[in-house]
Amino acid sequence: MREVGVWFVGARGSVATTATLGAAAVKAGAAPPQGCVTESPDFPVGLVSIADLVFGGHDITECPLRKRAEQLSRAGVVPAGLPGLLAQDLDAADAEIRRGHVPGDGTQEAAAARLAGDIAGFRDRHGLARVVVVNVSSTEPPAAPRPEFRRLADLEARLAAGDDVLPASSLYAYAAFRAGCGYVEFTPSTGPALPALAELAELRAVPYAGRDGKTGETLIKSALAPMFAQRSLRVRSWSGLNLLGGGDGATLADPAARSSKTLSKERAVAGILGEPVEGETHIDYVEDLGEWKTAWDHVTFEGFLRVRMSLQFTWQGCDSALAAPLVLDLARLVARAHERGRYGVLADLAFFFKDPLGTDEHALAAQYARLRAFAADLAGDPS
Ligand X SMILES: NC(=O)c1ccc[n+]([C@@H]2O[C@H](COP(=O)([O-])OP(=O)(O)OC[C@H]3O[C@@H](n4cnc5c(N)ncnc54)[C@H](O)[C@@H]3O)[C@@H](O)[C@H]2O)c1
290-349: contacts with a second copy (CB under 8 A) = 294, 296, 298, 300, 302-318, 321-322, 324-325
The gap between the terminal CA atoms of the chain, to the nearest Å, is 10
CB of 363 to Na ion, least distance (A): 12
Residues 234-273 that bind a second copy (CB under 8 A): 234, 236-237, 239, 241, 243
Of a second copy, ligand X, Na ion, none, which one does residue 316 interact with (CB within 5 to 8 Å by kind)?
A: a second copy
- The residue (of 233 and 379) whose beta carbon lies closer to ligand X is 233
Of ligand X, Na ion, a second copy, none, which one does residue 104 interact with (CB within 5 to 8 Å by kind)?
A: none
Residues 149-208 that bind a second copy (CB under 8 A): none
Residues 126-165 that bind ligand X (CB under 6 A): 136-139
Residues 272-331 that bind ligand X (CB under 6 A): 319-320, 322-323
The number of CA neighbours under 13 Å toward the Cβ of 248 is: 28
CB of 27 to a second copy, least distance (A): 13
Of a second copy, ligand X, Na ion, none, which one does residue 15 interact with (CB within 5 to 8 Å by kind)?
A: ligand X
CB of 377 to ligand X, least distance (A): 26
Pattern 77-106, binding to ligand X, x per CB under 6 A? -----------------------xx-----
CB of 372 to Na ion, least distance (A): 20
Other C-beta atoms closer than 10 Å to the C-beta of 227 total 13
Is residue 373 involved in binding a second copy (CB under 8 A)? no
Is residue 44 involved in binding ligand X (CB under 6 A)? no
Query: Is residue 219 left, alpha or beta, with left meaning phi > 0 and alpha meaning psi from -120 to 50?
Result: alpha
Is residue 275 involved in binding a second copy (CB under 8 A)? no
Chosen residue from 149, 173, 356, 367 binding Na ion by CB under 5 A:
356
| Contact in structure between 41 and 98 (CB atoms under 8 Å) | no
Is residue 84 involved in binding a second copy (CB under 8 A)? no
What distance in Å separates the CA atoms of residue 112 and residue 158, rounded to the nearest whole number?
Answer: 13
Is residue 88 involved in binding a second copy (CB under 8 A)? no
CB of 207 to Na ion, least distance (A): 16
- The residue (of 51 and 309) whose beta carbon lies closer to a second copy is 309
Q: Which residues bind Na ion (CB under 5 A)?
A: 356
Where along the sequence are the contacts to ligand X (CB under 6 A)? 9-10, 12-15, 58-61, 100-101, 136-139, 168, 186-187, 212-213, 215, 246-248, 251, 319-320, 322-323
